[in-house]
Amino acid sequence: MATHSERVWHGGHAPSAVAEEPRGLWSWLTTVDHKRIGQMYMGAGLFFFLLAGIEAFLIRLQLARPDNHVVSAALFNQLFTMHGVTMVFLAGMPLLIGFINLVVPIQIGARDVAFPRLNALSLWLFIGGGLMLYTSWFFGGAPDAGWFNYVPISGIQYSPGPGVDFYDIGLQISGIGTLMTGINFLTTIINLRAPGMSWLRLPMFVWATFVTSLLIVFAFPPLTVDLFLQTFDRLFGAHFFSVAAGGSPLLWANLFWVFGHPEVYILIMPAFGIISEVVPVMSRRPLFGYTTMVLSVMAIGFLSFMVWVHHMFDLGYGPWVNSIFALSSMLIAVPTGVKIFNWLTTMWGGQVRMNTAMHWVMGFLITFVIGGMSGVMLALAPADLQFNNSYFVVAHFHYVLIGGTLFAIFAGMYYWFPKYTGRFLNETLGKWQFWLVFIGFNVTFFPMHFLGLMGMPRRIYTYAPHLGLTFWNSVSTDGVFILSAGMVIGAINVLWSYGHGQLASADPWDGRTLEWAIPSPPPAYNFAYIPQVRGLDAWWVEKRYGNGRMLPAPEAHHGPPGTIHMPTSTPMPLFLALSIVIAGYGLILHSLILAIIGFAFVAIGIHRSMFTVDPGMYVRPHEVEEVRADG
């Protein structure tokens, strides 16, 4: 912040002193405020989650009975591909990145992220790439080669339509956004921590974000490369993956899983972070074994790059490779187990408040343990030759990604909603949502373990009546109705509570971290003054051992007295993202004109962004808005 304002002071526009937050659609399209960006990530993530849910619903209807004809084989393949791609890239990650945006800068005592404009660009690239991917339905069909899009099935010879091009370029665009998010949050956490916020005082959610960002920075480039290679193969006749010309289909598979395995930890790590925030607060005691928890997160992050072949045990790499990757995969269970037992010990002997957030935590622990256990079973390479590509795997990753990631996301929603909207989510509706989702989820997905053991492969649009698969498939489809009812109640709760929920104070849960030390909802500048951090659980320390308010840290002031320097809003990120999307359409639709226009706009946008200095603006805090602890 300080380096920014120095440049401003000597030139540029005279900064304006604005205290009011701008309203209206344009202010959202041009915002660089991490809280608004976070909310848009959540909103867009939930929108894509709804679409993926509709796809899942159709998939389950088709599989409710053998030899069913709700959808055709071709449409079924598009549905499961889009369901997977959407859940991983357009719902799971954005919802977590939403929380990261909302929470991390405040938890480290910062007023925004290190690169606010880049942050807005990340958001618009994700939304642009995601919407673009969905327009594939109107241009001859969605991608239909599965979410890991193996070649040659996804090659131009076997998938001649534009669907896979939408996959390649849509994910490339949203992936660039994700990569920028990783860089942004690494920089933010390294550089913008408030005075006193040393590494071993970082809240667990920040640690989770730090490791997640590292994973993004190292895992996304292989995906970027993979997508580029395929784009060249499909659009310009290259032969990276074509066997006849000496290319290798296994090159795609390896690059994909070198990305793909860390990716699933990108999806679970922030969820661990959320659980680590909610459990201590709701148990009224510190997180058990903080240092071990930090080490576990690092160990899991490191190991996640060492295990990718366990997705390909059946591709024929031989007993040596399979044994080594089986052992490394099993090893991940150790740090993960440590985390689970440390959460349990935090609650054991504590005073657990069983509100809705905590219901989700309990649901998370039960289902995530089941998913983790089936994960260990899958790691045993010889056993995996049976499990791989069966419904047992489908059961496993839904236990981890819904029972793990999604339940944690819901825990986080009930926990942080009052902070960012100033209103509670309704607890009664919340508990209804929890029980319906929890029961519906288990009824839907537990039978899939059975189906896998009975020899049902994944990605089949139908199955024969004599295989004995009918009963558990119909049970599974029944579960979807219960699950969906829960989701509808959840949606009603969010929409209703946004405007009508019970008003929340600044610190409604007796929280431990810095976000509870500022008003609900927080002002644009987060902190009227930068807080001095004096221990782990910075806010808790001041409430119990200080005088119940954060002490101000020494801060370099540049602007008019009593003002705070903040970045200005700008339409440039939106413009740049739109330009890239236009260029993408140019490539997919083989329209040279469109591609040239798009890339020209990209060049203009980058030029403008590079050579225009943001003068920033000075905002005056409404008054000395400070939060005092009640007790």
Partner 1 sequence: MAAALSGCGLVSAPQSMLNPAGPVARDQLNLIYSSMWVMVLVFVVVAGALLVILLRFRWKGQKELPPQWEGSTRLELLWTIVPFILLALLAVGTVRDSFVLAAPSGKNVLRVNVVGHQYWWAFSYPGTNIVTANELHIPVGQKVELVLTSADVIHAFWVPRLGGKTALVPGRTNIMWIEASQPGLYRGQCAEFCGTGHADMRLLVDAQTPAKFAQWEQEMEHPVVQPTTALAKEGEQLFATESCSSCHTIGGTRYAGVVGPNLTNLAQRPMIAGNLLPNTPQNLAAWLKDPQAVKPGALMPNLHLSPDKIKALVAFLESLKTPAPTGSV
> Regarding beta strands 564-566 and 551-552, do their DSSP bridges make them parallel or antiparallel, or are they unpaired?
unpaired
Q: Nearer to partner 1 by C-beta: 316 or 554? A: 316
DSSP state for residue 506 in the 8-state scheme:
S
Amino acid at residue number 215: L
Q: Nearer to partner 1 by C-beta: 281 or 489? A: 281
Structure tokens at 327: 């052992």
The least distance separating partner 1 from the CB of residue 86, rounded to whole angstroms, comes to: 17
The least distance separating partner 1 from the CB of residue 417, rounded to whole angstroms, comes to: 21
Per the CB < 8 A criterion, the answer to whether 413 and 276 are in contact is no
The least distance separating partner 1 from the CB of residue 593, rounded to whole angstroms, comes to: 34
Q: Nearer to partner 1 by C-beta: 70 or 553? A: 70
Q: Nearer to partner 1 by C-beta: 379 or 400? A: 379
Q: Nearer to partner 1 by C-beta: 43 or 289? A: 289
Q: Nearer to partner 1 by C-beta: 185 or 252? A: 252
Q: Nearer to partner 1 by C-beta: 235 or 454? A: 454
Three-point CA angle 291, 266, 322, nearest 5°? 95
Q: CA–CA separation, 360 vs 309, rounded Å?
A: 32
The least distance separating partner 1 from the CB of residue 340, rounded to whole angstroms, comes to: 6
> Regarding beta strands 617-619 and 551-552, do their DSSP bridges make them parallel or antiparallel, or are they unpaired?
unpaired
Which residue matches tokens 């370099």? Answer: 556
* 3-state secondary structure at position 565: strand
Amino acid at residue number 464: A
The least distance separating partner 1 from the CB of residue 22, rounded to whole angstroms, comes to: 42
Which uninterrupted H or E stretch holds 617?
A: strand 617-619
Q: CA–CA separation, 132 vs 167, rounded Å?
A: 9
The least distance separating partner 1 from the CB of residue 39, rounded to whole angstroms, comes to: 31
Q: Nearer to partner 1 by C-beta: 461 or 618? A: 461
Asked whether the CA dihedral 558, 560, 565, 570 is positive or negative, the reply is negative
Which residue matches tokens 């867009």? Answer: 44
Which uninterrupted H or E stretch holds 220?
A: helix 204-236
Residue 389: is it exposed, middle or buried by C-beta count within 10 angstroms (0-12/13-18/19+)?
Answer: middle
Structure tokens at 36: 């608004």
Q: CA–CA separation, 611 vs 614, rounded Å?
A: 10
The least distance separating partner 1 from the CB of residue 344, rounded to whole angstroms, comes to: 5
Per the CB < 8 A criterion, the answer to whether 608 and 579 are in contact is no
* 3-state secondary structure at position 35: helix
484 closest CA partner among 26, 28, 34, 60: 60
β-bridge mates for residue 308, sequence order = none
> Regarding beta strands 617-619 and 531-532, do their DSSP bridges make them parallel or antiparallel, or are they unpaired?
unpaired
The least distance separating partner 1 from the CB of residue 55, rounded to whole angstroms, comes to: 16
Q: Nearer to partner 1 by C-beta: 121 or 274? A: 274
The DSSP string of 432-473 is HHHHHHHHHHHHHHHHHHHHHHTTPBSS-S---GGGS-HHHH
Residue count of the chain, please give it. 631
The least distance separating partner 1 from the CB of residue 354, rounded to whole angstroms, comes to: 6
Q: Nearer to partner 1 by C-beta: 113 or 279? A: 279
Q: Nearer to partner 1 by C-beta: 144 or 168? A: 144
